[in-house]
Amino acid sequence: ALFMHVDKPDTHIISSILHIDRSEDAEPWPVVIEDYQGNTNEVLLESGDMLFYESSKCFHGRPKKFIGSWYTSVFTHYYPVGWDKPKRRMDAHYAVPPHWNTDPQHLSDKCDDSDDRCPSWEEMGECEANPQWMQSNCRRSCGTCDTIPGVDVSGLDKLVMAGTGMK
């Protein structure tokens, strides 16, 4: 059995399996791949079949125990020409939103209206009628000082990082 896993992008991002053959007493041994929608797919390879997949993104493996005398496949791994492995590693490891560590309680310190007409627009109901623009540009008037424009922070005050005491 080969447990479900994703390959580390340090060495490759795409893999292929060329199935050569199996012993006559071998039972089918499917490759299991989880696609981008979360569906699990079993792929049975016959002699000469090749499976090409994004091994650093899709969970894959052969969780079923192999039953038989032998099974032969050739595995190849690919990465793009000019692949900047260290940068890719950093991007993958630190792929978090730019506002991840902004404390919403301290955003009011930076809260301001970008236009002198914001208070009158708020009185006319523009915060509700035109929320995308108003809540980013008239934050004080619309009362959105405890938010990050374009980021849903509702519930952040309820999120406690276990064991750190941080919110």
In a domain, 47, yes or no: yes
Q: 70 with 13, same domain?
A: yes
Q: 72 with 21, same domain?
A: yes
Q: 52 with 116, same domain?
A: no
Three-class SS of residue 118? helix
Low-confidence ranges of the chain (pLDDT < 50): 107-108, 153, 155-167
Considering 23, 45, 80, which residue would you say is the last residue of a domain? 80
Q: Which of 100, 102, 103, 113 lies closest to 143, judged by CA?
A: 113
Considering 64, 80, 96, which residue would you say is the last residue of a domain? 80
- Enclosing domain of residue 129: 104-158
CA 60/CA 116 separation, integer angstroms:
57
In a domain, 33, yes or no: yes
Q: 24 with 72, same domain?
A: yes
In a domain, 163, yes or no: no
In a domain, 167, yes or no: no
Instruction: Please give the tally of structural domains in the chain.
Output: 2
Q: 124 with 70, same domain?
A: no
Q: In this structure, what CATH number is given to the domain that contains residue 40? A: 2.60.120.620
Q: 152 with 115, same domain?
A: yes
Q: 69 with 108, same domain?
A: no
pLDDT of residue 101: 64
pLDDT of residue 112: 84
In a domain, 39, yes or no: yes
Three-class SS of residue 133? helix
In a domain, 133, yes or no: yes
Q: 69 with 114, same domain?
A: no
* Torsion angle of C-alpha atoms 38, 43, 49, 51, degrees rounded to 10: 20
pLDDT of residue 92: 65
In a domain, 92, yes or no: no
